[in-house]
Amino acid sequence: MKGQKLLLGTMASLSPMPDRTVLYDRHVALGAKMFEFGGWEMPLWYASIGEEHLAVRNDVGIFDASHMGKILVTGEGAGEELGHLVTRNLSNYLPGKCVYAHLLDEQGRIIDDLIITKLSQDSFFVVCNASTRPKVVDWISGRKMPFRFTDMTGDFSCLAVQGPKAADLMSRIASPAVLDLKRYHGGLTMLGLPGNMRGEGQTFSWGEKVSLLTDRNMGGATAFVTRTGYTGEDGFEIFASSADTGFVWDGLLRIGTDLGIRPIGLGARDTLRLEMCYLLSGHDFDGSQTPLQADAEFAVDWDHGFIGKESLERQRTEEFSRLVAFASVGKGVPRGGYQLLSESGERIGKSTSGTMSPSLRIGIGMGYLPSGYAKVGTKISYEVGSRNVEAKVVEKPFLKK
C-alpha cells in the first residue's frame, strides 16, 4: 500500500524498553518492520500492508497477537461475580462459548472490550487489549471479588490464523475436533505436525485450569483454541505456552505454503478490522464513550445487573453522538482525527479511524456524529488540510461477508 499509511497513527519511535513477544527474533528474520504498539515491539508489516491484507481475504495469514492480555478468573461464584463487571450475562452461556463483552466504569464508559471464554461454571479465560491491560487488571482485581485472578499474559502466547483457508490449515496441525468448533467457541486441542498427529478423535474439555503440556519429542503440544477473529474471515486463535509458540509458528508457516500462508503484521490487521467496522481500542473508544455511543449495544445483555448499567439506561432515553461508518465520495482517504463536516460545512464530529480499503479501493472511516447526522445516506465531508473531501454515511460493515 503506497506510503504504508494506516490508521494506527504516526509510527512512534521505539521506547527504551518495550516488551517483546517470544517471536521477536523470527519477525526480524522475516524482514518485519517493527514498531511500538500498546507497549510492545510488534511487526507492522513484512512485505506491505496491502499484500498482507489481501492474503488474509483470499487465502490465509498468521498474526502474532501475543501482546494481548490473557487473564484467568476462577473460583466458586466466579461467573456471577465476573458477570457484574461486564455487559454480558455470563450465566446465559454454556461452557466453551466465547462472548464479546465490554468492561465499564460507573458512568457506563468503556474501559476495554474483551473476549471471554467460559471454561466452566466457575472458570473464565479473558482476553483484553495490550494497552489497556494494566487498567483491566487493576479494575477487576480491585473489586474485592471472591474469585481467583491470574494474569497469564507472560505464560501464554497467541497466534491468530485467519482467512478462508484457515480451517484447512488447522486441520493439518490440530486434532480433528478443532474443525467441529462453532463460531465463537473454544476448547483444548493437540497440535502436531503431519505424520505425527496425536489425539485422533479427541474431544474438547474445559476445566478449572488451562493446562498446556509440552511434548516436543512427539512433535506436538496441547493448546487452547478459540474460533473468533478480528478480520471478518474464518479464523482460529491458538493460545499456546510461550515455550511452545516458536514450534507452532514455524510449523504453521511450513505446512501452509501451498495454501499461500503469509505472516501478517498489525497494519493489515487494522485495515481488515476496519472493513468490518470492528472497534479499535484507543481510537474508536478511548475511555470517553459508552457501548451505546460506540454503536455496540449488541454487546449488552440487559437482563442482569452490571457496573454502569444505570448510566446506560439513562442514556437510552437521551440524544447522543454515535459511531458511524462513512465512505469517500470524492477523491481522498480519511485518517483518524479528521474533522467531519455537515453538507453546509459545519463541523459536527471527528473521525476515529480511516484508511484506503484494500478490498474496495475507496477511502473508508468511522467517526462520531450527532444523531441527526448518523442516518445512512447522509452527505458529509471531512477536512484534509485545506480541502474538504465529500463522503456519505454508509451501512456497517463496509465489506459484506
What tens digit of pLDDT does each residue of 177-190 get?
888 999 999 998 87
> Which residue carries 477536512 as its cell?
383
Q: Between these two residues, 198 and 174, which has the higher pLDDT value?
A: 174
pLDDT digits (tens, 9 = 90+) for 112-161: 999 999 999 899 999 999 999 999 999 988 887 788 889 999 989 999 99
Q: What is the pLDDT of residue 16?
A: 62
- CA distances 124 to 120, 148, 187, 240, 356, Å, are 7, 10, 12, 17, 38
Tens digit of each residue's pLDDT (9 = 90 or more) over 71-82:
999 999 899 999
Instruction: Return the pLDDT at 98.
Output: 98
The highest-level CATH class for domain 69-151 is alpha beta
Domain boundaries, the chain: 2-68+155-275, 69-151, 319-394
pLDDT tens string 272-298: 999 999 999 999 999 999 999 999 999
Closest alpha carbon to 64 in 219, 189, 246: 246
Amino acid of residue 266: L
Please determine, for residue 208, whether its predicted confidence score (pLDDT) is greater than 90.
no
Percent of the chain at pLDDT > 90 equals: 76
Residue with the bigger pLDDT between 381 and 150: it is: 381
DSSP helix/strand/coil, 36: strand
Span 353-365, pLDDT tens digits = 999 999 999 999 9
Look at 17 and 86; give whichever has higher pLDDT. Answer: 86
User: Which tops the pLDDT comparison, 261 or 171?
Assistant: 261
Decide if pLDDT at 201 tops 60. no
Kindly state the cell numbers that stand for 96: 466453551
Class of the CATH-defined domain 2-68+155-275: alpha beta
For 310-345, give the DSSP string: HHHHHHTTS---EEEEEEESSS----TTPEEE-TTS
**What tens digit of pLDDT does each residue of 216-228 get?**
433 456 789 999 9
pLDDT for 203 equals 36
Task: Compute the distance between CA of residue 150 and CA of residue 71 in angstroms, rounded to an integer.
Answer: 6
What is the CATH topology of the domain spanning 319-394? Elongation Factor Tu (Ef-tu); domain 3 (2.40.30)
Q: Report the pLDDT value the prediction gives residue 220, as an integer from 0 to 100.
A: 57
